[in-house]
Structure 1
Amino acid sequence: MKALKPLVMSGREVLPLVEGGKGVAVSNGESSGAWAAAGGIGTFSGVNADSYDEHGTLIPQIYHGKTRRERHDELIAYGIQGAIAQARIAHERSNGQGRIHMNVLWEMGGAEEILHGTLEGAKGLIHGVTCGAGMPYRIAEITARYGCYYYPIVSSARAFRALWLRAYQKFRDNLGGVVYEDPWLAGGHNGLSNSEDPRVPEDPFPRVLALRQMMNSFGLEHVPVIMAGGVWWLSEWEDWLDNPDLGPVAFQFGTRPLLTQESPISMAWKKKLLGLKDGDVLLNRFSPTGFYSSGVKNPFMQELMARSDRQVAYMPKPVGEHAAEFPIGPRGRPVYLTETDRQRAQSWVDQGFTAGLKTPDSTIIFVTPDKAEQILTDQIDCMGCLSACQFSNWSQHGDGSTGKKADPRSYCIQKTLQAVSHSDDCENQLMFAGHNAYRFASDPYYKDGFIPTVQQLVERIATGY
């Protein structure tokens, strides 16, 4: 294994090892500060981060607003308060070493307001901002205003080209690096485009090489590419190190930092990770963002899969083969199915899935009455955590609606991510994870359930393993 050579990132020489920012309160000030203290780049999640009162007690994020817009404003206030709190913790834990970055989703609710509020309130504590889940054109302008570096997350050279030509070329000096996130292997939300087959993973090398060549054409030879998604042992990526075709390269780890002593996730979650098998992480399209995402195939995910499997196309009036009448709802209003689908729907009703819920795609899913009530309640209680939500039809723009029917095949992402990060329930909540998470079970480093400190993990990674 070649020795790792430091890179200058966010204004300082650091190890080319980056902690990936994760979810809601999954990478925080403790974990990111420890990663920076070990000489790398620690990244805390700026997505509805935790905040604390004067006694250090966690402040529950409870919403009192009567409207979605009022709750959305509360969410932004919580987001700013929490991100500033985590930045301060990370700064203290870093002991002046490494760099501290903040991770945000461009499509999270109030992203721009939260960025401005956080970078203003935590001046000098945050050295870089990583941003994906959308096309973050304005991230360069925002970070430059506060003397901060920006790190866009892309999954293709084409995406970076669009960002550069439209916005980033005006803020060249603040571009700290470009994160290439493998859309087939990364955890959380992924950047698969309509032209890519989710069932046919592609080798990342030619895609990253194309990104590097695109960057070089813009005079960005010195700007590092950060490889994210599918990285476990660096020895498996040794040919990327000191590769003149790829130029400066760093590696981002999202899944392995979950299993550290500083990681804030529950012990139940950590034990779950140690027992995963190959295939236990599912690339799916259930997220209310509309993006592909990857999560553990636990009962929460299995229920979503089953919910979508109990689905038939319908017509409001008889048309062609859709001539079989079927009653839906408390009043038994008729819709029209094919005869085959009518028989399927009746079998689901006979099994107790008696509530039919219409989707934006002119289909109906069948769930139990309790599940239907939960779905409706979650949609009503929406707090606007996304810029646009397919599940609740919330939009932070215009009149507060996407103009489309709310989609019951999805879920309230804020509710479940808050629950999984603040409880022991990792069975009935969404667990984002990278597709290599099954390697915890076979990697000898974690034998007998060993959980390292962040310092130990960084040292281990640097050996190639």
Structure 2
Amino acid sequence: MKAINTIRMGGVDVLPLVEGGKGVAVSNGLTAGAWAAAGGVGTFSAVNADSYDAEGRTVRQIYTGRTRVDRHEELVAYGIAGGIAQAREAREVGGKNARIHANILWEMGGAERVIRGVLEGARGLINGITCGAGMPYRLSEIAREFGVHYYPIVSSARAFSALWKRSYSKVSDWLGGVVYEDPWLAGGHNGLSNGEDPKRPEAPYDRVRKLREQMRAFGLDDTPIIMAGGVWWLEEWDDWIDNPELGPIAFQFGTRPLLTKESPVSEAWKQRLTGLKAGDVLLQPFSPTGFYSSAVRNEFLQDLEARSERQVAYTSEPIGEHTAEFGVGPRKRPVWLTPADREHAVAWTGHGFSEALRTPDSTLVFVTPENAREIVKDQVDCMGCLSQCRFSNWTQHGPEFSTGKKADPRSFCIQKTLQDIAHDGSLENNLMFAGHNAYRFGSDPFYSNGFVPTVKQLVERILTGR
């Protein structure tokens, strides 16, 4: 394998190894600091990050506000306090010369307010901001304001072109690099466009080559591209290293840092990773963000899959083939289904899925009474963790703070489940994000006999090519 040399990124020389930011509370200051101390770029998640009390105990994010707007304000305050706490820990662990980045999601609730609050409260501790999940046009302005570099996360040359022409061309000096996140391989939320098929993955080389061509057209020949998604052994990317067609390339590791001594995830979670098989990570459309996302197929995802399968279209009046009357809700208000769908509805009801919940797409999904109560409670308890949420119909923009659409029971409260699994909650009944190569923990000899490396040992291993 070719030698792994340092790369110029954000005005300094670093190993071309970047820790991928994983929220909520999974990439923290300890992991980021350790990764940066090993010579790469450490990234902590500023997405609802943990903060600590005077005794160093994690402050659980409990919401007491009576309205969604009140709870949203609590969420923003938690986010700022947590981001500052993680930045301080990352700097303490990594040292004064460590390269520390903060990762945010543009579509998270109060994203601008949170990252501004974190950068203000942690001045001098953070070197860069990585940001995806949306089109973060204002990212460059925020970076310039605080004197840090910015690293947009994109999944195509077209997306970067739109960002550059609208905003980034005016703040080019602070562009530290561009993260290409493979939408078919990366864990967490993925940037699949409406024109791309989630079941037909495209090889990353040509997509990254097109991104480089677009960047060169904008005069960004020497700005690094950071390849994210599907990176495991660097020897498998040998033809990317020192490749003049691609220009300077760095590699981002999101999944592998989960299984380290410093990783804050539970021991049960780490153990689960070593037992995954190929195909156990599912690219699925259930996220309340509206994006596809990749997570371990467990009982939580199986329930969402089954819920969407127990679904029929309805009309409020008999129209066309919708001639079969069906009663919905406690008062059995009539809707009309096709005769075949009515048979399905009656069968599901007979099997205990007796609650029919309306969706924004004029369909009914059938769930148990217990599940229906949980869905409604989670919708009512919404704390505005997203800029807009299809599950609860929240939007952070007033005066109504509503998307104007029905809340969608086919989705879920993402804040609730990510907070729970990050703090030792159930591995079966929560969303467990992971990249599609996570099954390789079980076959990679590095992890033989249950070995769990430190971050330093992992980085040293990666530098061997393996």
Both structures adopt the same fold (TM-score exceeding 0.5): yes
Question: 1:19 & 1:330 partners in 2: Cα distance?
Answer: 51
Correspondence for 2:427 = 426
Correspondence for 1:304 = 304
Q: Which amino acid aligns with 1:437?
A: A
Correspondence for 1:415 = 416
**8 Å CA contact 1:155, 1:183 repeated in 2:** yes
Q: 1:10 Cα shift? A: 2.2
Q: 1:449 Cα shift? A: 1.5
Correspondence for 2:33 = 33
Q: 1:409 Cα shift? A: 0.3
Correspondence for 1:394 = 394
Question: 2:450 & 2:286 partners in 1: Cα distance?
Answer: 32
**8 Å CA contact 1:17, 1:252 repeated in 2:** yes
SS in 2 for 1:420: helix
**8 Å CA contact 1:30, 1:262 repeated in 2:** yes
Correspondence for 1:457 = 458
C-alpha distance after superposition, 1:106-148 (max 9, x if no partner): 0000000001111011001000000000000000000110000
Question: 2:184 & 2:170 partners in 1: Cα distance?
Answer: 31
Equivalent residue runs for 1:82-93 within 5 Å: 82-93=82-93
Question: 2:98 & 2:88 partners in 1: Cα distance?
Answer: 15
Correspondence for 2:6 = 6
Question: 2:425 & 2:155 partners in 1: Cα distance?
Answer: 33
C-alpha distance after superposition, 1:315-370 (max 9, x if no partner): 11111110001111111111110111000111100000000000000000000000
Q: Which amino acid aligns with 2:247?
A: G
Question: 1:368 & 1:75 partners in 2: Cα distance?
Answer: 31
Q: Which amino acid aligns with 2:237?
A: W
**8 Å CA contact 2:91, 2:98 repeated in 1:** no
Question: 2:253 & 2:194 partners in 1: Cα distance?
Answer: 26
**2:230 is the alignment partner of 1:230:** yes
Correspondence for 1:438 = 439
Question: 2:435 & 2:100 partners in 1: Cα distance?
Answer: 22
Q: Which amino acid aligns with 1:8?
A: R
Gaps of 5+ in 2: none
Correspondence for 1:45 = 45
Correspondence for 2:135 = 135
Which stretch shows the higher mean deviation, 94-103 or 376-385?
94-103
Q: Which amino acid aligns with 1:438?
A: Y
Correspondence for 1:219 = 219
Correspondence for 1:322 = 322
Question: 2:335 & 2:456 partners in 1: Cα distance?
Answer: 60
SS in 2 for 1:346: helix
Correspondence for 1:120 = 120
Equivalent residue runs for 1:66-465 within 5 Å: 66-398=66-398, 399-465=400-466
**2:57 is the alignment partner of 1:54:** no
The number of aligned residues is 465
SS in 2 for 1:327: strand
C-alpha distance after superposition, 1:378-432 (max 9, x if no partner): 0000000000000000000121000000000000000000000001411110001
SS in 1 for 2:151: strand
Q: Which amino acid aligns with 2:78?
A: Y
Question: 2:321 & 2:394 partners in 1: Cα distance?
Answer: 35
**8 Å CA contact 1:186, 1:435 repeated in 2:** yes
RMSD of aligned alpha carbons: 0.7
Gaps of 5+ in 1: none
Q: 1:11 Cα shift? A: 2.6
Q: 1:95 Cα shift? A: 2.2
Q: Which amino acid aligns with 2:74?
A: E
Question: 1:461 & 1:252 partners in 2: Cα distance?
Answer: 11
**8 Å CA contact 2:21, 2:103 repeated in 1:** yes
